[in-house]
Amino acid sequence: MRETVKMHAFQAINAALHEAMEADPKVLVFGEDIADREGGGVTGATIGLSTKFGDMRVKSTPISEQAIMGAAIGAALAGYKPVAEIMLMNFTTVCMDMIFNHAAKLRFMSGGQSTVPITIRTLTGAGWQTAGQHADHLEGWFAHAAGIKVVAPSNPAEYKGLLLSCIQDPDPCIIIESAGTLFIPGDVPVDQGPIPLGVARVVQEGTDVTIVSWSSMVVRSLQALPILAEAGISVELVDLRTVSPWDRETVLASVAKTGRCVVVHEAVRSFGPGAEIAATVNEELFGQLKAPVRRLGAPYSPVPFAKVLEDAFLVSVDEIVAAVTEVAGQG
């Protein structure tokens, strides 16, 4: 059995950054407040890096997200592997040009002459009552943008393994650190290495219903599992891990087996990433489904402040249980 250490997601991220910087002198880490002089990041994810690797490779920046992303892109063009932090996912909106028009497209627009192997680390997710401008799950936008990979881990070991892969990847990656996943300690194998991008993880095998989820909603789905098991429903839980490019094979194989599928994500449901998965499952498995593919996501609304509203905004364990139960009863 692999030796493991219990840690939180930020410790796992911190470990991955340390290992990546140690292994490859081209890895750079920067963003607002991330150096030790500033306390090693608001979340502590970067603690110790500047002290260990020096203030040339690890830099706190001004509040200038376009300049941050530009620095990442330019350094990447010159052979570096920058890991840039955009403190919160909503702040990608002030540097979306750099990400979408440049980082994601430069390889293609240059006909393969240029590569932009950057990693964007960004925090988000409802649950902390940070309200309308600090908690959106925008993975659907990035998944719709050709040329950037979208990664959304759900537990500490996965944070470490997926972040390591993002850093090594020859293309731009955005990795989402979501509130609902961050304070649940998990066992991280001492030798936890990179986890391949684009490959889903079957968290639990089952035969009645497939749940496809990622990030914070894997956590909630896991909470739904014992309740569903008790109700006699055998659930196969697939953690997508990489939202784009997503692992169609694993999802389709699972739903081909169960005949039923519920997609659960934190993002707004309407025009959300779950629609792609639902639409694909329907296209590929038409006639083989026992029930319509269900999608659970946030209502069409900004993230609200009041706790009672924030709770209602997020897909609840109860809603997952209800949707899976309903689907299980069909067909």
Task: Choose, by CB under 6 A, the member of 7, 31, 32, 172 that binds ligand TPP.
Answer: 32
By the rule CB under 8 A, 113 interacts with a second copy: no
Q: Please count the residues of this chain forming the interface with other proteins, following the rule CB under 8 A.
A: 73
Separation CA 128–CA 319 (nearest Å) = 20
d(CA 201, CA 254): 11
Task: Give residues with Cβ within 8 angstroms of 294, minimum separation 6.
Answer: 261, 262, 263, 278, 323, 326, 327
The answer to whether residue 312 forms part of the interface with a second copy (CB under 8 A) is no
134 is catalytic: yes
E strands, the chain, are 4-7, 27-31, 58-60, 81-88, 119-124, 149-151, 173-178, 186-189, 201-204, 209-213, 235-239, 242-244, 261-268, 294-298
**Nearer of residues 197 and 237 to other proteins, judged by Cβ:** 197
Q: Is 98 or 225 the residue whose CB approaches a second copy more closely?
A: 98
Stretch that binds other proteins, among 143-151, 207-215, 256-264, 320-328 (CB under 8 A): 143-151
How near is the Cβ of 140 to ligand TPP at its closest, in Å?
21
Give yes or no for residue 48 binding other proteins (CB under 8 A). no
Q: Which of 274, 296, 315, 324 contacts a second copy by CB under 8 A?
A: 274
Rule CB under 6 A: choose which of 87, 148, 251, 267 binds ligand TPP: 87
Contacts 24+ apart (CB under 8 A), 133-137: 133/90, 134/88, 134/90, 134/303, 135/90, 135/179, 135/303, 136/89, 136/90, 136/267, 136/303, 137/89, 137/176, 137/178, 137/215, 137/265, 137/266, 137/267, 137/268, 137/298
147 contacts a second copy (rule: CB under 8 A): yes
- Do residues 105 and 73 touch, judged by C-beta distance below 8 A? no
| Catalytic residue of the set 102, 134, 137, 265 | 134
Tell which phi-psi region holds residue 284, choosing left (phi > 0), alpha (psi between -120 and 50) or beta. alpha
Mark whether 65 is an active-site residue.
Answer: yes
- Calculate the CA dihedral of residues 76, 82, 86, 91 and round it to 10 degrees: 0
| Chosen residue from 59, 201, 257, 290 binding other proteins by CB under 8 A | 59
Measured in residues, the chain has a length of 331
According to the binding rule CB under 8 A, does residue 312 interact with other proteins?
yes
Residues 170-189 that bind other proteins (CB under 8 A): 170-171
67 binds ligand TPP per the rule CB under 6 A: no
Instruction: Provide the minimum distance between the beta carbon of 47 and other proteins in the complex, in angstroms, as a whole number.
Output: 11
**Interface with ligand TPP includes 94 (CB under 6 A)?**
yes
Least distance from a second copy to the Cβ atom of residue 135, Å? 11
Q: Which residues bind a second copy (CB under 8 A)?
A: 90-91, 93-94, 96-97, 99-101, 104-105, 108-109, 131-133, 140-141, 143-147, 244, 267-268, 270-276, 278-279, 282-284, 286, 289, 291-295, 300-302, 304
The catalytic residues are 65, 134
